[in-house]
Structure 1
């Protein structure tokens, strides 16, 4: 009886930690799938001295040389619903929308900060529809 109680307590402690681990792994999938978009944006900026300019994100991905669909954007994965580049002059960013579990329909932004001939990417989650902070990698908090 005592053994069952101990096993139950250990499971109660381990399961939430495991769920957090799984959710963080799902976030990593989207960040990895966004790498080709990051490289394409950096290459475009290097060649043209500016970011692609269009209010239509599908057009922007085409300007970057990325084959994209209106449903999935630049990429999709098992837990990543859509990746696209939003070319807003104030805050250009790669947006990653997730699916499934605690992060269903939540966003992570990779914001492009232009500096001295290059781009520095900063990761964040919008307050209203972003991925909860506890699931974000340390570089995004």
Structure 2
């Protein structure tokens, strides 16, 4: 009988699933910048996951990314999130190696990366800080 190492049991077998975190805040891609800003202010979060009309992950928008739109109040009421420049795919998947994901995030200069299933639905997010911490704590 052949045994296979279990993911997450040692540093080399860690996957994105071992480090991803839930993301409670999402917004539809047809929502306005003004609506997103209300969520940012009320929930005190730095990013929102953007979902399309089918509920699949479309990307991620940050408070800083919306800054140019917020300087003109009339513009925020009419501009849909889908019309803004925000992080779009490809996204991480839960079975992806965590070390590879951390390298990909560093190369793409991502602080947060959505994690999706095979159908494109959001499972959570991977943050650069969390990936680094989990990799640092893993036995060699």
What range describes the TM-score normalised by the shorter chain of this pair? under 0.3
What's the TM-score once normalised by structure 2's chain length? 0.28
Higher-RCO chain (CA-CA 8 Å, sequence separation at least 6): 2
Structure 1 or 2, whichever has the larger Rg, is 1
